[in-house]
Amino acid sequence: MKFSALLLLLTLHHVGAQSPYVPASPTNTTLSVMSYDLMPKLLVQFYPERMYADTINRELGARDISQGALVHFSADIDSDVPPTTAPWIALISCDRNATGHSQELDIFTLARDKGARAALLYSTTSETCHLNPVYAHSVSNGEFDIFSTRSLSSTKHAPLGDPAYAAYDAQRLSDSAGTITSGIESQKPIAAGFGLATLFTNATTSSGAGGSAATASAPTNSPSSVTTNTNSATRSPVISMLPVLYTCLGALFTSRI
C-alpha cells in the first residue's frame, strides 16, 4: 500500500513537472544585413578582466537593455524548478526540444517566471535561430526580450562552454544575487562565479538620466573612435558604460572586416 502511494506520488510529480517546449528552430536563413549602429549588441564579462563581445539579432521585445548572469537554461529542465531573486539571462539552445515536452508551457515564459530578464538563443548546428512566427504573434512584444546569435561562426567563437555559465541553479543564483547586482552597478564582475551579460540596442544611447542626451559613435577604423556628450554628473550607469561596450565591440567588429 505504501509502495503504491509512493509510486502514484512520483508519477503525479513527473506529470506535473514536464519540460517546456522551445518555440524556435535552427535555420541557415539569415536576416537582412543592417548597419553596425542598428545591430543589437552582446557583451559578456568574466572576472577579473576577460570578456566576449559580438553583435546579435533581436527576435522579440522592446527594452533597450537587459543585464544579468548568463546561464544555460535547457529544454530538459523541469517546470517546477524554483525561481531566483538574482538578475539573469537565459542562454537557450534552439536545436531541439526535450522528449515528452509540454505543449502548453514555453521555455521563455518559464525562464521569465523564474526571474530571467531576457533570453539569448543559439544553435550549434545552423547559422542562427528563428522564433516560431505563431508564437511571436501570440505574445506581447514588451513581455520578454529574446535575442539570438547572428551566425554559426559567432556561436563557435563564443565561450558557451565556459564553466561560469553553468546550468540554471536557483539556489546558487540567489546566493550570488548581491554579487551579480553589484557587478551590474559597477559595470564589471566583482568576483568569480558567473559571466555578466549585457544585451543592448542602439536606442540605449539616445538618452541618459534626467533627460541628458548621449551619443556613442559606431567604431570605424579603430576601437577608440567613441564619443559621448553626456554630463558625467547625471548620466545613468547604462550610459556611462557605453564607451566600454563600444570599444570592446569596435575592436571585435573591425578585426572581422
Give the model confidence (pLDDT) of 133-170 as tens digits.
999 888 876 678 999 999 888 887 777 767 777 899 99
Mean pLDDT lowest for which of 6-20, 56-70, 210-224, 238-252? 210-224
Task: Flag whether the pTM goes above 0.85.
Answer: no
Q: 199 forms bridges with which residues in the sheet?
A: 42, 66
What pLDDT does residue 218 have? 33
What pLDDT does residue 47 have? 92
Domain spans of the chain, in order of start: 18-205, 209-257
What pLDDT does residue 186 have? 93
Q: Which three cell numbers stand for residue 13?
A: 510529480
| Between 248 and 206, the higher pLDDT residue | 248
Residue 120: band (very low, low, confident or very high) from pLDDT cuts 50, 70, 90: very high
d(CA 247, CA 226) in angstroms, rounded, equals 7
Please, which contacts does 211-218 make with residues 24 or more away whose CB atoms are closer than 8 Å? 212/239, 214/239, 214/242, 216/242, 216/243, 216/245, 216/246, 217/246, 218/35, 218/36, 218/37, 218/246, 218/250
pLDDT above 70 for 235? no
Mean pLDDT lowest for which of 20-29, 96-105, 134-143, 173-182? 96-105
Phi and psi at 161, nearest 5°, equal -90, 5
Q: 10 Å Cβ neighbour count for 120? A: 26
If one looks up domain 18-205 in CATH, what number appears? 3.50.30.30
H-run or E-run covering 26 = strand 24-27
pLDDT above 70 for 172? yes
Q: 213 forms bridges with which residues in the sheet?
A: 207
Residue 69: band (very low, low, confident or very high) from pLDDT cuts 50, 70, 90: very high
Radius of gyration of the chain (CA): 19
| Between 84 and 225, the higher pLDDT residue | 84
| Between 13 and 68, the higher pLDDT residue | 68
What pLDDT does residue 221 have? 30
pLDDT above 60 for 239? no
**What is the average pLDDT across 21-25?**
92
What pLDDT does residue 231 have? 33
3-state secondary structure of 252: helix
Mean pLDDT lowest for which of 60-74, 135-149, 194-208, 215-229? 215-229
Mean pLDDT score of the chain, rounded to an integer? 75
What pLDDT does residue 242 have? 53
